[in-house]
Structure 1
Amino acid sequence: MPADLLSTFLVFCRIGACFMVLPGMSSARVPPQVRLFASLAIAVAVSTFIDERLQAYLAEPGPAVLLRLAVSEILIGLFFGLIARFYLLALEFIISGVAMSIGFGGMLGAMVDGFEMQAALTAFISLSALMVLFTLDFHHHVIVALLGSYDVMPFDTMPDMRLMLVDLVDVLRESFLIALRLGSPFIGFAIIINLGVGLLNKLSVQIPIYFISLPFVLAIGLVILYYSAPYMLSLFGQGFTGIYNLR
């Protein structure tokens, strides 16, 4: 096989592995043909920037060398795709807590990006956040990060798994700190409303305060969500670019 085709194949391994776990592109509702041709088109475009380095290395490759290169490229692509996946999972986690704090945790519905059951509020906010990321061209940031990864993680060496795991832990930490800031109004509301309802229940044991207070908790929670949702989505979109700049 010519060296230029081999170099495009290795680039496709990195791009395709990233798109396999990237939010939005990895959804089961996206046809596999769309993901395949999108990955192939981007791989052909990216390979033009690094074709000379790869062709010099792939002059006379052996089967063991090709297998090692393919595995290494797939691992690197998965690493960059999981960074964006963890960032969105942090938001889904905190929105699930928000749904429980305002009384919407029991209303389960199907996710648009997946098949597992989640709270309707979680599915709505996560889909809105994903649309905000696509509006801000987050996939362009991922492609730029993949293009720059050839300087940090060259194709002729196996990636350091320890450093990759450390970087993923740093991404998890930063993502959950951002998610905690986004859900802090609802956490404070849940603490205050539960303390107040608990004190009222102790003062009047005969009255089922928790059942009576549920409509008020829902109403106040929806009012807070109405005013805070635009800022949550805006801050979530702005914080994405910093995730790929942690190291």
Structure 2
Amino acid sequence: MIELAGSDIGRWVAGYLWVLFRIGALFMTMPVIGTALIPMRIRLYFAVALTALVAPQIANVPQLDALALSTWVVIGEQILIGAAMGFLLQLLFQIHVVAGQIIAMQMGLGFASMNDPAMGISVAVVAQVFTMLITLLFLAMNGHLVVIEVLVESFTTLPIGETLQAAHFQTLVLRFSWVMAAALLIGLPAITALLIVNLSFGVMMRAAPQLNIFSIGFPLTLVFGLFILWVLLGAAAEQYHLFASETLIWLREMVGAR
């Protein structure tokens, strides 16, 4: 007959519970997997399955004492680490959403919006196109597998029970300003081209005041904008690779991975 002591049960439960909190927090906040497109139950199944694979490989796990304050501190730290990793990945997607909003306003499609099922808000159609494109590139280039690799490595670089320092999340705080700069970098060619188009219409109005700029300018601006957007999509893979590489490097820096 097998007899189990309370300490043994606590050690086994803690070995999986701490890992589940960090993995679950990441899966609830990261792009693609953490969106409303995937049901909460499916995300929980993913987290439990990955926990069952990762937890046996982690050593030196703190003992579980449900009534101790230190237990809740460790739980909060694991959730904070996972959520911070997920929010840093969200920046990669949000720069393309902001770029799409900027381009849509310049080409006259700012009023054309649709509901984003992933975020649950209304965004411009151009931004939604960018979001779908980046989602496909993220999955096609195995971005989700790289994230899982960094997550597993984080249990070595940020062991469970180690006191977190402000430097661990300094990367996340400093990169919020990077979103607008990167979005402007993506939309700058379209903004410049549409500015030239609008200046050309201004010259036409000065040369021929009898022209109705509202009946001619808006359709032409929209057509030129769609053409410019088509040209931009040709370089979308290169831009994604550049920004995704920077984001994953910052993700590794945040958790101290190599």
Question: Is 1:20 aligned to residue 25 of structure 2?
Answer: no
Give 2:129's aligned residue: 124
Aligned-residue CA RMSD in angstroms?
2.2
SS of the residue 1:223 aligns to: helix
Question: Is 1:169 aligned to residue 173 of structure 2?
Answer: yes
Deviation of 1:141 after TM superposition, in Å, equals 1.4
CA contact (8 A) 1:19 1:26 kept: yes
Deviation of 1:182 after TM superposition, in Å, equals 2.2
Distance 2:205 2:230 in 1: 29
Q: In structure 2, give the amino acid aligned to 1:37.
A: Y
Give 2:4's aligned residue: none
Q: In structure 2, give the amino acid aligned to 1:182.
A: I
CA contact (8 A) 2:35 2:118 kept: yes
Decide which of 187, 191, 195 is 2:195's aligned counterpart: 191
Give 2:49's aligned residue: 41
SS of the residue 1:24 aligns to: coil
Question: Is 1:150 aligned to residue 155 of structure 2?
Answer: yes
When structure 1 is superposed on structure 2, of 17-26 and 196-205 the one drifting more is 196-205
Give 1:217's aligned residue: 221
SS of the residue 2:235 aligns to: helix
Where do residues 18-167 of structure 1 align in structure 2 (5 Å cutoff)?
A: 18-50=26-58, 52-54=59-61, 57-58=62-63, 63-160=68-165, 162-167=166-171
Distance 1:233 1:177 in 2: 19
CA contact (8 A) 1:13 1:73 kept: yes
Distance 2:182 2:145 in 1: 21
Distance 2:232 2:130 in 1: 12
Higher gyration radius (CA): 2
The C-alpha deviation readout for 1:207-243, integer Å capped at 9, x for no partner, is 3314311111111221222222131144214531331
Distance 1:43 1:202 in 2: 68
Deviation of 1:116 after TM superposition, in Å, equals 0.9
CA contact (8 A) 2:36 2:117 kept: no
The C-alpha deviation readout for 1:72-104, integer Å capped at 9, x for no partner, is 000000110001111111110011111111222
Deviation of 1:191 after TM superposition, in Å, equals 2.1
Distance 1:190 1:147 in 2: 46
Mind listing any 5+ residue stretches in structure 2 that lack a counterpart?
A: 1-8, 254-258
When structure 1 is superposed on structure 2, of 188-197 and 131-140 the one drifting more is 188-197
Identical residues among aligned pairs (%): 21
SS of the residue 1:11 aligns to: helix
Task: Give the TM-score, by structure 2 length.
Answer: 0.85
CA 1:62–1:244 in 2, change beyond 3 Å: closer, same or farther? farther
Q: In structure 1, give the amino acid aligned to 2:45.
A: F
Where do residues 228-247 of structure 1 align in structure 2 (5 Å cutoff)?
A: 228-246=232-250, 247=253
Decide which of 8, 31, 36 is 2:16's aligned counterpart: 8
CA contact (8 A) 1:178 1:236 kept: no
Mind listing any 5+ residue stretches in structure 1 that lack a counterpart?
A: none
Moved over 6 A (4+): none
SS of the residue 1:2 aligns to: helix
Distance 1:211 1:166 in 2: 51
Deviation of 1:62 after TM superposition, in Å, equals 5.6
SS of the residue 2:47 aligns to: helix
CA contact (8 A) 2:95 2:179 kept: yes
Distance 1:61 1:36 in 2: 22
Distance 1:230 1:41 in 2: 38
Distance 1:28 1:105 in 2: 24
